[in-house]
Amino acid sequence: KNHCDNHTIQPGPSISAEPAPPGLDTSSNDINFSSFIQTLNVTKQKEQTELDNQGFSDPLEVEFNSVLKPVMETCSKEAIASGKGWIFSHSRTAEECGKMAHFIMRKSLDLPGVDFNQKLHIVYLINDIVHHCLRKGANDLKQALETVIVQIFFNIFTSSPHNGDSLSKVLNIWESQEYLSELKLTQVKKLLSLSPSELPEVPPPATETAVIKPSIVLQSFATPTPPWQQLPNVATGFNPTTIPIPLWQQSSQPPMVPPPWEQGPPPSGFNRPPVPWSNQNVSGPWTHPPPPPPPPAPPPGGVPATSQ
């Protein structure tokens, strides 16, 4: 047997009554359980949806999960002591106590690969934490756990209503040791007495990929816009949903590229080379000078005599 099978609890002081939450009538001790159950169910669905969509994004909760993993899997004495010590070391203020209670409550939700026994081990851990709180007078953590204890039992019981007897055994120990206030005991007892047909409908559990998510959650899951659709549409007739076809691919003949001197005014002092179609009479600093005149024709009668 492991630590959770034969663990005994020392008696602790009784807990005083507390104000009733919405949906309860303590004056007549009659619980308006229909609205109360709906409130618990709404909270569970909200927490479950948030967990399915965002996963465990808080780094402290990620560390918390790694500490509680041995507790849920083995529930050994060493794992319980380690988990309890870690929680107390991170519960120095009322705000930290509330955060630890919320982390524990989220472990009672429907997680991939987590069965009823693993969730029950979380209840055993709470048992040791509450016992330690009563011995050491850690009222902030005790009160924080009481605010979520009914929600924890609701989360576990509605997912596995056929295992209500195991939860009832733990509750009976807590009642005998006066671990919870009378109001909390009454709420959990009434909850565990419901038949499966009286419980709210439970949605199917999330898949593993729905829970294990990165810390940063994308705001949109739409298909990314191609780069060419992110550019401004400055060209007339440009279709942003397709890649523009280069001009040289739109015709079988390549475009004629004008010579450099046709692409703009020539720089100062530049002499344009002659071209066949150019007008030689056009004057300008960039034209060639006219060719030299031909040599004179020889006189009639032969070559002229050279001077002696």
Q: Cβ atoms within 10 A of the Cβ of 103, count?
A: 20
Q: Quote the pLDDT of residue 303.
A: 57
175 phi/psi in degrees, rounded to 5: -70, -40
Total count of residues recorded for the chain: 308
> Is the CB of residue 156 less than 8 Å from the CB of residue 120?
yes
Residues 6+ away with beta carbon under 8 Å from 267: none
Q: Quote the pLDDT of residue 21.
A: 45
pLDDT tens track of the chain, all 308 residues?
Answer: 455 655 544 444 333 334 444 444 433 344 587 899 999 999 999 999 999 999 999 999 999 999 999 999 999 999 999 999 999 999 999 999 999 999 999 999 999 999 999 999 999 999 999 999 999 999 999 999 999 999 999 999 999 999 999 999 999 999 999 999 999 999 999 999 999 989 987 666 555 444 444 333 333 344 444 444 444 444 444 444 444 555 545 555 555 666 555 566 655 665 655 555 545 555 555 555 666 777 777 666 655 555 54
pTM > 0.85: yes or no? no
Helix residue ranges per DSSP H, the chain: 33-54, 59-73, 77-89, 94-106, 116-136, 139-159, 164-176, 182-192, 208-211
Q: Quote the pLDDT of residue 234.
A: 41
Would you call 119 helix, strand, or coil by DSSP? Answer: helix
**Residue 207 corresponds to which amino acid?**
T
